[in-house]
Structure 1
């Protein structure tokens, strides 16, 4: 957004008063400032460094880091932040000073839509620890993931059948839409037991809402950064996220109420294994002796947390991976050769086959290096810290630019080349956040709790798309990005699939 456009709806007199007041306060704060801050680009009064930023914030940060160094200080309006762009600095901030950066900043939209109690943005403490344990052990633990395996398998089969029909008719398919439908149906059934059955189904409305909320969360809002703009509804953004929240609240309230009625009518087993997330959360709500007391708002926010984490990010990761394979046909052919050799031509790839397919696993890693699901690890300091001699005040936003680190020639040979072999031949780099050159799911205590689920789904979907089809496009793929929480491709991925070998029989018989 152009800085001049920001103020179009405010009178010139009001702007003049506010600007001069802010300039006075800014100069006063500079006189009192005793912190030794990291290097910083030139800034402007009031807006700080906002004029340096474009729609793709991670790319703007990358460009600034190439000019001003791997650790820079920025003032986004009235919000202080630091940007980190090397693995060594990432370790210093996220490992050595993990407790100091134990919080995340919530935008006005995030706070409103998630009832102010979102797990993903909660400060580290008893509530956060309890929910993380519940998510990683009960809901997303290996036993429950195994229980939900038939759901994932069924939805993948539905995708393959759709693609096969398109191939028969020699029609194009919008994979962006189909992949989001797949991931939404999987997570929707795991959370609430529903799936999309038509344009007017509750699950389809959830899908539309989650996509809209994900877009909102990824958009820049001036009111979050310039203090005197907090109550100004620029371009109707506040109205938009308020109405979206109301729609989500009405829908999820209806789903919860229907489930409560069902629970009162039926006798449920004590053991939570295999039941969906809503049942697990309602058990906690109704348990008078629960370790942590939660409300319905907590349940609504947690359901939304899981929806966002399990739909757009996974679908976007699959989309980028397939796009890179289409763009690099030699890599695609090698992946098909590995699958044909290991799996054969009489069955489809299963989740359990992943350890037997090292090249496919390397493809996934290479795609996550170039296109991390979330391009930056975001934290906020909860106390004053000193790192590399620089003072980082409490309340400072931290951005670890994993997108930039993944494209840095100091750490990756030919970083813009899609080369899965860099993750073979003795490479020990994994996705679990231990190597700070490669943090697709974050690291430390606040690493994504859904990493096991995401990797299971990501690997088997990509492997089956590679095993079952050849992929053709009419024009060269546009590999640009568009703004968003998960940074999707600038244009939808539209392809012409054609069936490989004996695959048709396998798809129809499974």
Structure 2
């Protein structure tokens, strides 16, 4: 990702860059592949996420499901399922070949799942369909969400240059002249963690958590809730509640300084990943991915708005869908910082 920024023109489309980064990262972890130069899988996945985020009247009124036969939803669903299924079949068959080329010596996720499938001692045998389900969960939950969080965090830092400066100074003090921030550096960057917490609060990637269902009838604040009632948790409303947060509309990472509140499901004021047994299983991976990418973007580049644009005039509108993306792409000016200038000079000399 850093090479993409350094080799691009002065203006960098961070929305496009971060989505490409998260897609390629998950592809490498799951399939053991880097981007193959085509957009086939990206296009299929993009359509999957659109279909998941679209308002479907049949979800609320099942007796109106016949409408989907006329508005094209059923056709899109069937085509997307077929294309995704065929792509997964191809990937699984490739992984059954022991002589296939690999990026490195490590097993990827498909290798691990196929190993579980072959293990005769397991009480439950994984089917190909279950493997495909796991892969879909990982891609749907791990690409758009991380990309959206990176974009919104960069938006807030560009709008608040003092916060960006403080984060960069902290990174420089720890990392020094190294060309990249390593995962081992992250525990030494407390202010960066405050920035990430505040970004999750202001811009939870999923404004509504995955729907739940009541297992039995209950009463909440005098309201009778029948069993099997679908429940939607409005994370965005919770994170902007003035009874929980002082000045909730403002970006203030320092509000978490000295606070034990975290986003890992223990504190219900901040639950971007959900909570309990049905919370997001990828919370640790997602947080580290965003934190490491953000640290490197700040370590290697200074960021500001294009000439003639004021930071206070950044379009903050959000898309409607499964993931809360910025409606218009975030385009910013990237200026290499000393660490990046040294690295590029050494590459040129070599």
TM-score (norm 1): 0.63
In structure 2, the CA distance between the partners of 1:351 and 1:405, relative to structure 1 (3 Å rule), is: same
Aligned-partner Cα distance in 2 for 1:345–1:177:
28
Give CA-to-partner distance per residue, 1:361-408, whole Å, 9 cap, x none: 100000000111211223112332333443221221111211111111
- 1:362 and 2:198 equivalent? no
Which residue number in structure 1 is paired with residue 91 of structure 2? 255
In structure 2, the CA distance between the partners of 1:274 and 1:430, relative to structure 1 (3 Å rule), is: farther
Which residue number in structure 1 is paired with residue 36 of structure 2? 197
- 1:230 and 2:69 equivalent? no
Residue of 232, 243, 254 corresponding to 2:79: 243
3-state DSSP of counterpart to 1:230: helix
Question: Is contact 1:469–1:497 with CA below 8 Å preserved after alignment?
Answer: yes
* Correspondence list, 1:363-402, <5 A: 363-377=195-209, 378-402=211-235
- 1:471 and 2:307 equivalent? no
3-state DSSP of counterpart to 2:303: strand
Which residue number in structure 2 is paired with residue 178 of structure 1? 17
Question: Is contact 1:411–1:437 with CA below 8 Å preserved after alignment?
Answer: yes
Give the drift of 1:294.
Answer: 2.7
Residue of 232, 235, 238 corresponding to 1:405: 238
- 1:221 and 2:56 equivalent? yes
Larger Rg: 1
Give the drift of 1:357.
Answer: 1.0
Give the drift of 1:493.
Answer: 1.2
Across the two proteins, how many residue pairs are aligned to each other?
Answer: 336
- 1:290 and 2:122 equivalent? yes
Which residue number in structure 1 is paired with residue 108 of structure 2? 276
3-state DSSP of counterpart to 2:294: helix
Give the drift of 1:506.
Answer: 3.1
Give the drift of 1:176.
Answer: 1.1
Give the drift of 1:509.
Answer: 5.6
- 1:450 and 2:286 equivalent? no
Residue of 143, 149, 168 corresponding to 1:336: 168
Question: Is contact 1:164–1:504 with CA below 8 Å preserved after alignment?
Answer: no
Aligned-partner Cα distance in 2 for 1:496–1:341:
24
In structure 2, the CA distance between the partners of 1:294 and 1:231, relative to structure 1 (3 Å rule), is: farther
Aligned-partner Cα distance in 2 for 1:314–1:237:
27
Aligned-partner Cα distance in 2 for 1:450–1:493:
26
Give the drift of 1:240.
Answer: 1.2
Q: Would you identify which runs of 4 or more consecutive aligned residues in structure 1 move more than 4 Å?
A: 507-510
Question: Is contact 1:161–1:508 with CA below 8 Å preserved after alignment?
Answer: no
Aligned-partner Cα distance in 1 for 2:339–2:182:
17
TM-score (norm 2): 0.90
In structure 2, the CA distance between the partners of 1:289 and 1:389, relative to structure 1 (3 Å rule), is: farther
Aligned-partner Cα distance in 2 for 1:508–1:308:
39
Question: Is contact 1:479–1:489 with CA below 8 Å preserved after alignment?
Answer: yes
Aligned-partner Cα distance in 1 for 2:172–2:183:
16
Unmatched tracts of structure 2, length 5 or more: none
Give CA-to-partner distance per residue, 1:382-438, whole Å, 9 cap, x none: 3323334432212211112111111111111110000000011x1111121111101
Which residue number in structure 1 is paired with residue 330 of structure 2? 493
Give CA-to-partner distance per residue, 1:245-294, whole Å, 9 cap, x none: 1111111111111222x14x69xxxxxx9421111211222233323233
* Correspondence list, 1:418-457, <5 A: 418-424=251-257, 426-457=258-289
Aligned-partner Cα distance in 1 for 2:33–2:296:
24
Give the drift of 1:186.
Answer: 1.0
3-state DSSP of counterpart to 1:481: coil
Aligned-partner Cα distance in 2 for 1:174–1:347:
22
Give the drift of 1:339.
Answer: 1.6
Residue of 242, 245, 250 corresponding to 1:417: 250
C-alpha RMSD of the superposition: 1.9
In structure 2, the CA distance between the partners of 1:493 and 1:193, relative to structure 1 (3 Å rule), is: same
3-state DSSP of counterpart to 2:212: strand
Aligned-partner Cα distance in 1 for 2:345–2:108:
29
Give the drift of 1:197.
Answer: 2.7
3-state DSSP of counterpart to 1:231: helix
Give the drift of 1:173.
Answer: 2.0
Aligned-partner Cα distance in 1 for 2:125–2:271:
33
